[in-house]
Amino acid sequence: MFKERLMYVKGKLVPWEEATVHLMSHSFCRGSAIFEVMKLHKTDKGRAIFRLDAHLSRLARTASLLGMDLPTDDEGFTQAIFQTIRGNEVENGYVKLICYYGNVAVKVMPNQESMDVCVAVVDPEKDLEGEEATSGETNLVITFCKTRKLHPETIPIEAKAAANYLNGMLSRIEARERGADVGIMLDTQGFVAEGSTESIFMVKDGILYTPSEGTVLKSISRKSVLELAPALGIETIEKRISPEFLMEADEIFLSSTGGRVQPVRKIDDRDLPVVPGPVSKRLMEAFEAIYQDKEPRFSHWLFYVR
């Protein structure tokens, strides 16, 4: 199905096969591409992107942290995204926005001032064919892995850059070798950080906990959970979480753009008592209402395609 898609590349829609860069481009060889992945939802009012403004703000933050010049502003990115959605028959799926250095470059520094931009729209059921096995699944099995989260003094870990995701890939490989769905990385001081590409939450005695900022990606999904939970009357605490405390959880769930809220049924050799637990279930139901624009308090999280 990918061959039927159109992609936005350098200001125009082109067939999927023509959306290419040279193998010696800087972003291919050096991992310097930066990106955002957004969820596209079909609602009774039309197609809407979840928290588009937050994603574009994070893209700008990533560029700033890495000393990059973006090729356009928020309105320019918005129009590129909407144009790509209109050009493809996708109602529920993902929008991936990538800014990259497309010029051939051998040295470590890119040889172009402003980045190129491309946008892809993907229907996971028709296009991905099970590539992301954990996307949208519940009852996950997770495991602590030896791969540690990058230290914030080595590279800006809140930057959503292609090179950073080798870290998550290694943890996912390790998890699958051990028969789990997702590997949980600790930070370099031994505290819980996050999953391969997921934020992690735990519930103990009705209180929702998640690792504090500083050693984790500033995930839009994480941000949304932390804003939604208090509105539901759920007490929320951000703190450094030890592996031992996580093992005592009444509930654990992961959160990501694709996975939303994904309850965990087992961590290493411990089965969770109830899956999904009551807090996880309330959040799952609340997010589903928001995605369908049936929760007025959070209708501003949806950006309808113009």
Using H for helix, E for strand and C for coil, what is the string for 227-296? HHHHHCCCCEEEECCCHHHHCCCCEEEEEECCCEEEEEEEECCEECCCCCCHHHHHHHHHHHHHHCCCCH
Instruction: Please tell me the pTM assigned to this model.
Output: 0.94
146 by Cβ neighbours in 10 Å (0-12 / 13-18 / 19+) ranks as exposed
**Architecture of the CATH domain 140-294:** Alpha-Beta Barrel (3.20)
Per-residue pLDDT of the chain (306 residues; tens, 9 = 90+): 678 899 999 999 999 999 999 999 999 999 999 999 999 999 999 999 999 999 999 999 999 999 999 999 999 999 999 999 999 989 999 999 999 999 999 999 999 988 999 999 999 888 876 555 444 567 899 999 999 999 999 999 999 999 999 999 999 999 999 999 999 999 999 999 999 999 999 999 999 999 999 989 899 999 999 999 999 999 999 999 999 999 999 999 999 987 789 999 999 999 999 999 999 999 999 999 999 999 999 999 999 998
Tell the CATH topology of 2-128.
D-amino Acid Aminotransferase; Chain A, domain 1 (3.30.470)
14 DSSP β-pair partners: 7
In the chain, CATH 3.30.470.10 sits at: 2-128
Cβ neighbours, 10 Å, residue 211 = 24
In the chain, CATH 3.20.10.10 sits at: 140-294
